[in-house]
Chain A
């Protein structure tokens, strides 16, 4: 096996990793503050892609405006769902939330499927790459599609900005305080509930963004989130629940590892991530970056 092929696999892995990182970061942000696992995440990722597609069909909006608008719309929908539905289940058993978000996932998938079939007579639609990002870049040692490099770069920037805001700014201090001790934080004059809604919006907005980024690579279809989110949950388990930096690093690392591993030993292609997850669970059940509950 030559180095060039391996390098291409590393880049492919980084592209997959970009999606894992954006999605697991969103899950981590949400879990940190709300203590819920958002099982709707894959559906909202798909919705990001679908909204971008629909904005193009209805308003003729191209990739760039959609890249901003679609995640915002997904975030707004998420915030509305948090206010009206999720917030009613806080303090109840986690299984209630699981059932609700699972139900909402099915609902979203079927709604999108209906709309696509009835309005556009397709069950799956391609999404064109913006012209500036078509073609390839010659990196000297390998040639790689421009758009995919853009995906890696943008995901990296978005992830690092999110990390920076949470760890280093006043907004982040409020989020961390509300996560650690909502009762005391509220008593200090901070409307924790409002921040919970906002953080949920940001978390699902990241999923929406990943969806728009995915649209030109994978085609837009109602179940595009279903498989990806399963791998993402494996990434979350490997990285450890709730760690911001952990979710980013693990996302990219697992992407690369899985792609390289699949190249080295093709039969493992689909199972490598889950084998990795099993090993991590055996050695360190709280994940590579996760602290035991209570030591946070």
Chain B
């Protein structure tokens, strides 16, 4: 059995006094696409932030690519090959589109600027515009390709389909599929079951800061009603 790329054990996270994650255990194997499903406020974003080292007040262990990263600052975690695309996308409006694309330090195996622009010509056309002038879908694409520049092994994607038109969601799905085909592992946060079940090999279900269920790709069809119930308000 190969070792997990990401191994999270007994993770607890806090915002000040409020205890938001309660002893999570989850794993992502190399090249695997895993989704975190759950309602608003279940703690999905908090989980990604805790893994990426953006949220600091947490306990437990986060092992990434064989190393304990819980105490590392997020720029060092990024340097080890983890990338985070935040729910708000994090496009910098004081930077041009081009500066956004080229902001992360380039690392071996990462996407060159050339490759980014060939894949998304619109990012070249709008290169001089402020990042915030792109449409929602373009911003999401930019947020995803931007982190590829450092050649990550694991992509933490927070609700990439949120607020986007179906055709754009489709394109983002194609993109994630293609990246996963190239061997990139993805931890995908979603509320859109259709989108998540198209992409993910495995799903963790979140309720109130706890993982309450785990469903493999092959069982999604049979357990569809359960999953819908977990996600409905």
List A residues at the B interface (Cβ < 8 Å).
Answer: 170, 173-174, 176-177, 179-181, 183-193, 296
Any A CB within 8 A of the CB of B23: no
Tally of contacts, chain A with chain B, CB under 8 A: 67
Q: Contacts A181-B90, A183-B54 known; A189 to B105 CB distance under 8 Å?
A: yes
A187 in contact with B94 (CB, 8 Å): no
CB < 8 Å: which of B73, B79, B92 contacts A184? B92
Q: Contacts A173-B99, A184-B86 known; A191 to B75 CB distance under 8 Å?
A: yes
Docked pose: A188 CA to B74 CA in angstroms: 8
A173 in contact with B78 (CB, 8 Å): no
CB < 8 Å: which of A173, A176, A186 contacts B74? A186
> What is the interface residue range for chain B against chain A?
20 to 34
List B residues at the A interface (Cβ < 8 Å).
Answer: 52-54, 73-75, 78-79, 83-84, 86, 90, 92-95, 99, 102-105, 146-147, 150
Cβ–Cβ < 8 Å partners of B52 in chain A: 187
What's the nearest-Cβ distance from chain A to residue B100, in Å? 8
Cβ–Cβ < 8 Å partners of A184 in chain B: 86, 90, 92
Q: Contacts A170-B102, A173-B99, A185-B103 known; A190 to B94 CB distance under 8 Å?
A: no
A180 in contact with B94 (CB, 8 Å): yes
Docked pose: A25 CA to B195 CA in angstroms: 50
A192 in contact with B94 (CB, 8 Å): no
* Known A176-B94, A177-B103, A186-B73; further 18 A-B contacts with Cβ < 8 A: A174-B103, A176-B95, A179-B94, A181-B92, A184-B92, A186-B75, A187-B53, A187-B75, A187-B86, A187-B90, A188-B75, A188-B104, A188-B147, A188-B150, A189-B75, A189-B105, A190-B105, A296-B94
Cβ–Cβ < 8 Å partners of B146 in chain A: 188
Cβ–Cβ < 8 Å partners of A187 in chain B: 52-54, 74-75, 78, 83-84, 86, 90
Would you give 6 A-B contacts (Cβ < 8 Å), ordered by A? Answer: A170-B102, A173-B102, A181-B90, A183-B54, A187-B83, A191-B73
Cβ–Cβ < 8 Å partners of B99 in chain A: 170, 173, 176-177
Cβ–Cβ < 8 Å partners of A191 in chain B: 73, 75
Docked pose: A166 CA to B188 CA in angstroms: 36
CB < 8 Å: which of B90, B102, B104 contacts A189? B104
B92 in contact with A176 (CB, 8 Å): yes
CB < 8 Å: which of A179, A188, A193, A296 contacts B103? A188
